[in-house]
Structure 1
């Protein structure tokens, strides 16, 4: 099937879709993006993604050239034209010489197997450190090299994900995920002040917890807190919610004993999406 890309109001083939190499977005990563999942013709939490994109664009001095209703129409049409039942959609706003380029990319998405959602992912601690004092930590900018290098470091070591600490040694987030820890039936997650992105799925976890009268503690978490947890799980807009099986050589006891508070959120999230 031919790949269709949306660029500045037009649906084009991959060969036709071009941007200027003089653009500030190309040269400096001046722009923002959102990663979304389309499932059975529905864009998961589209409104929340569009709201965050607008806030992030404004924070770095960009004005999005389309209103929310038009963007929704373009995204749905791009998903339809590419024809995937399960798709990864990337919405990009990038500074050009005289405008803000709007780009929508659609790729087929291959989710983890049901078995992987039971066994979980393996993570290491990244050697890179997040600057929690920078306002950019709160936004998904197109200059994503920091996170890409952290992820590649993990993959090169044979892990699935990298856990990033901030400059003060507290846990910030994963290279592609937010992280939640479970200890003595209490749930903890890094506060936003620690330098983590306020992920869309992170916020959904708070919604699910509130419905079930489960408290989530937003706090500063040291690496020792992670090692001393019985369980942990990771979230993002593509994978949803998935257990963290281990950090370095430490296996989480909750997974070994076939008991998991994480399952409440894994199953709850899938129920919301009707997956």
Structure 2
């Protein structure tokens, strides 16, 4: 594997950061994972808008033109001999003295990781976790280096690739998966937890909501108890790499409804994956 780090593409064994990088010392860093399909980075504009908003909250000054971003992606694809890939774009605070720093971080560390897209199964089984979802450290959840809650949850369900754990909040509301957002449908209406439950507002989650608007499929966003999820006709999870993954069961109970919504959304992803830069593009089409 070749990675990009602060201006250079190097073998992963040569990718080094300072021991004083506050991304390492204090977890001050953000990342975006996105899918490149035949050279096209799907929903890239949405990912980088969220990244910039989060970096501003963290006090990390970083920017890069879209043309520079695309050049790095294409060079990494060539170095790794890939046309489609899993990409993690990581911006950490950079080096400062030991101790909590209250100024602006102006020399962040940029690392871009790339690997082949993982094989995606047709469905997964889900389990409600005993590990509860922690609350965001700020006013809303960032896609940050703070992943202990997720790691503890992953240890709870183990390494089975066809399983996903679903968090509840401390108040008992359905939150999100370990690496996914959660949706379900009942009697023709789609439901998904509100961002105010403390979940990550996933880029694929936002895209799915835009697709539901486009297809005039009714949906509700709110606070829901475990029982409401367990009574679903169908359910599915979303993230930027696996996109739409139907759930076949929750806590061992089979979901027996037809997968109408998941199948319709999968068709829409197939339609847009190779050329869309932002979900706003399908909204503009709807307004015409």
| TM-score (structure 1 length as normaliser) | 0.90
- 1:266 and 1:104 map into 2 onto residues whose CA distance is 28
- 2:253 and 2:67 map into 1 onto residues whose CA distance is 47
- 1:97 and 1:157 map into 2 onto residues whose CA distance is 37
Equivalent residue for 1:265? 265
Query: Which consecutive residues of structure 1, in runs of 5 or more, have no partner in the other structure?
Result: none
Answer 1 or 2: higher relative contact order, Cα 8 Å, separation at least 6. Answer: 2
CA contact (8 A) 2:124 2:164 kept: yes
Larger mean CA deviation between 36-45 and 70-79 belongs to 70-79
CA contact (8 A) 1:5 1:17 kept: yes
Following superposition, the deviation at residue 274 of structure 1 comes to 5.2
Map 1:225-244; keep pairs closer than 5 Å: 225-244=228-247
Equivalent residue for 2:169? 166
SS of residue in 1 equivalent to 2:13: coil
Please state if 1:194 is matched with 2:202.
Answer: no
Query: Which consecutive residues of structure 2, in runs of 5 or more, have no partner in the other structure?
Result: 97-106, 276-288
Equivalent residue for 2:55? 57
Following superposition, the deviation at residue 156 of structure 1 comes to 5.5
Bigger fraction of residues in strand: 1
SS of residue in 2 equivalent to 1:152: helix
Following superposition, the deviation at residue 80 of structure 1 comes to 2.9
- 1:80 and 1:157 map into 2 onto residues whose CA distance is 32
- 2:31 and 2:161 map into 1 onto residues whose CA distance is 28
Map 1:212-251; keep pairs closer than 5 Å: 212-251=215-254
Q: 1:6 to 1:156 in 2, by over 3 A?
A: closer
CA contact (8 A) 2:126 2:250 kept: yes
Following superposition, the deviation at residue 223 of structure 1 comes to 0.3
- 1:202 and 1:126 map into 2 onto residues whose CA distance is 21
CA contact (8 A) 1:38 1:44 kept: yes
Map 1:68-147; keep pairs closer than 5 Å: 68-98=66-96, 99-112=107-120, 116-117=121-122, 120-132=123-135, 134-135=137-138, 138-147=141-150
Equivalent residue for 1:181? 184
CA contact (8 A) 1:124 1:159 kept: no
Q: Give the superposed CA RMSD.
A: 2.0
Q: 1:216 to 1:76 in 2, by over 3 A?
A: farther
Give CA deviations for 1:226-264 in whole Å, capped at 9, x if unaligned.
11111101100000111011111211111xxx5533211
> Matched residue pairs, number?
265
Equivalent residue for 2:44? 46
Runs of at least 4 residues off by over 6 Å: none
Following superposition, the deviation at residue 22 of structure 1 comes to 2.2
Following superposition, the deviation at residue 155 of structure 1 comes to 2.2
- 2:200 and 2:85 map into 1 onto residues whose CA distance is 23
